[in-house]
Structure formats: structure tokens, C-alpha cells
């Protein structure tokens, strides 16, 4: 194998690894924000677990995070709970960063 081929393979492996970490981190993030939102919505037990599944399903609606953001925002509005957009986005961002950190530390 030439040096170029080895580098190309290395980049491909890194890309696959990065995508796997991103997927796992988004799943963990979705669970964390669903638990946070569920607590604000007064959900517990089976209702909370069902809500977590709804949030995960919402994440499949489109690429990116806006689908999850819109779901959380709509759910808060439906219950008359005032939560700033910035607070939702901050929770999503912090949960994603923590998920990445947890995944990376588990690998090392």
C-alpha cells in the first residue's frame, strides 16, 4: 500500500469514527433533553419513557437539530410552560458536549 493509500484509508476511518460518535452523542443528547423537558412537563415513569421515544423520533424528521428544538418548544407551549429559546438551545448544546465527552472518555 502506498503512503497516499494509507493516508486515504486513515481519513476514511476517521470519518467513520466521527460519524459514529456524532450519532451516539445525538442519541444521548436527545435522551438528556427529553428527561429535562419531561421533568418540566411533569412526566414520570412510563409517560417519561414514552416522551423520550417521541423526542428521539422527532430527531429523525430532518437533518440537524431544529426538529428536536421545535418539538420541545411546541410541547412547552402546549402545556403553557414558558421556556426561553436560548434555554432550550443551551440545554441541547450542553447535553451534546457532555455526551461527546462521555463517549470519548469511555473509549480512552
CA–CA gap between residue 1 and residue 82 (Å, rounded): 60
pLDDT at res. 73: 97
For 81-108, write each residue's pLDDT tens digit.
999 999 999 999 999 999 999 998 987 5
For 7-65, write each residue's pLDDT tens digit.
888 888 888 888 888 999 999 999 999 999 999 999 999 999 999 999 999 998 888 88
For 68-87, write each residue's pLDDT tens digit.
999 999 999 999 999 999 99
The closest alpha carbon to 88, from 55, 61, 63, 62, belongs to 55
The model carries a pTM of 0.83
Please give the DSSP secondary-structure letter assigned to residue 79.
T
pLDDT at res. 101: 93
Q: Where are the domains of the chain?
A: 28-103
Amino acid at each position: 500500500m502506498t503512503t497516499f493509500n494509507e493516508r486515504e484509508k486513515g481519513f476514511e476511518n476517521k470519518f467513520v469514527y466521527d460519524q459514529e460518535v456524532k450519532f451516539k452523542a445525538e442519541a444521548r443528547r436527545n435522551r438528556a433533553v427529553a428527561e429535562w423537558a419531561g421533568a418540566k412537563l411533569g412526566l414520570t415513569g412510563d409517560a417519561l419513557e414514552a416522551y423520550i421515544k417521541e423526542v428521539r423520533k422527532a430527531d429523525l424528521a430532518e437533518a440537524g437539530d431544529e426538529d428536536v428544538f421545535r418539538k420541545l418548544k411546541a410541547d412547552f407551549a402546549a402545556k403553557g410552560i414558558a421556556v426561553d429559546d436560548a434555554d432550550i438551545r443551551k440545554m441541547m448544546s450542553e447535553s451534546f458536549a457532555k455526551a461527546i465527552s462521555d463517549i470519548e472518555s469511555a473509549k480512552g
